[in-house]
Amino acid sequence: MSAATSSHDFGKVAVLMGGHSAEREVSLMSGSGVLQALKARGVDAHAFDPAERDLSELRREGFQRCFIALHGRFGEDGTVQGALELLGIPYTGSGVMASSISIDKVMTKRVWLAEQLPTPRYTLLRRGAYQPRQVAALPDDLGLPLIVKPAREGSSIGVFKVQDRAGMADAVEQAAALDADVLCEQFIGGDEVTCPVLGTGDSARALPVIRIVAPGGNYDYQNKYFTDDTQYIVPCGLPEGEEQAIQEIVLRAYRVLGCRGWGRVDVMIDGTTRRPSLLEINTSPGMTGHSLVPMSARAAGIDYEDLCLQLLASAALDQEKGIPGR
């Protein structure tokens, strides 16, 4: 936030939290943290849960900006962003197209591959359209272990690491219960890292890389949010030059998707070749006490409240003119 901008210049701010997705619980934690931080800095901020109130109330009640602390579907997938575009209310994070592509792990991979960015090999299965023989053949195509996950869920919901052929059918069935598209992906063994990005276009910058060491290598929903057993190492301690290389590839991945404001890219580094592979991008990352963007920002000298203000200051619309008369 520039020196010329005061907290009062933001006007009435809605912190969108909760929502309808499987990540509602995490979103409420993120939103509560953001709301408290903005209020502490003098912003006229209010909680707003789209699962309980119609978005049209935002305009009727005079909200001038939205901080999107929603995660997953109906918050991170372009739907809320499209509604806010129609309402003419600037919002944090990526716009409609970048959000809708980025929530879909398969579409994200297709864009990255078209731009010659590295990502693990994969097979897409569509619920009700795949045959048992296709599932049985996946270990031959992708190797074991392999990863099975819904194409459009976050927070590691419905993600399975399949160790043997016997577990394949059950993992695919459980992932298909959460999404019509199931992503089956080559497993990359090595260092798991994540790298946040702040900004837009050429001005976007990568924050410090965080290395993640989860119990048994299982960075699942429980270990992400509800235990203190996962280690987050920042400075990351990677070999010389690797952190910068990760930051460069993450910035490219972020820019080619058209992301803006902020985001976080998850990466695996092959333990043998040391080559990075892009896993996915989060366009509305967590802001809880366990979340990684605030942790990385802190390592870069940006505290939680400053980070929230900086993100709020970046709120924008795809169509900057907004609604006539506003």
Interatomic CA distance for residues 11 and 257, integer angstroms: 30
Interatomic CA distance for residues 135 and 36, integer angstroms: 47
Strands 262-270 and 276-282 turn out to be antiparallel
Strand (E) or helix (H) holding 249:
helix 242-256
Q: Which of 286, 291, 304, 314 is catalytic?
A: 286
Helix, strand or coil for residue 13?
Answer: strand
- Listed residue (236, 253, 250, 237) closest to 296, CA to CA: 236
Q: Which of 23, 77, 185, 191 is catalytic?
A: 23
Sign of CA dihedral 76, 79, 85, 89: negative
Q: Which of 73, 266, 296, 304 is catalytic?
A: 266
Q: Is 232 a catalytic residue?
A: no
CA angle 87, 90, 93 (to 5 degrees): 125
Per the listing, tokens 């602390």 go with: 69
Q: Which of 282, 284, 291, 296 is catalytic?
A: 282
Q: Is 266 a catalytic residue?
A: yes
Q: Is 185 a catalytic residue?
A: no
Q: Is 99 a catalytic residue?
A: no
CA angle 64, 67, 70 (to 5 degrees): 135
Report phi then psi at 9, rounded to 5: -70, -15
Interatomic CA distance for residues 299 and 3, integer angstroms: 22
Q: Is 264 a catalytic residue?
A: yes
Q: Is 296 a catalytic residue?
A: no
Distance in angstroms between the alpha carbons of the first and the last residue of the chain: 23
Q: Is 286 a catalytic residue?
A: yes
Q: Which of 7, 27, 99, 155 is catalytic?
A: 155
Q: Is 240 a catalytic residue?
A: no
Q: Which of 91, 221, 225, 304 is catalytic?
A: 225
Interatomic CA distance for residues 283 and 196, integer angstroms: 10
Catalytic residue annotation: 23, 155, 225, 264, 266, 280, 282, 286
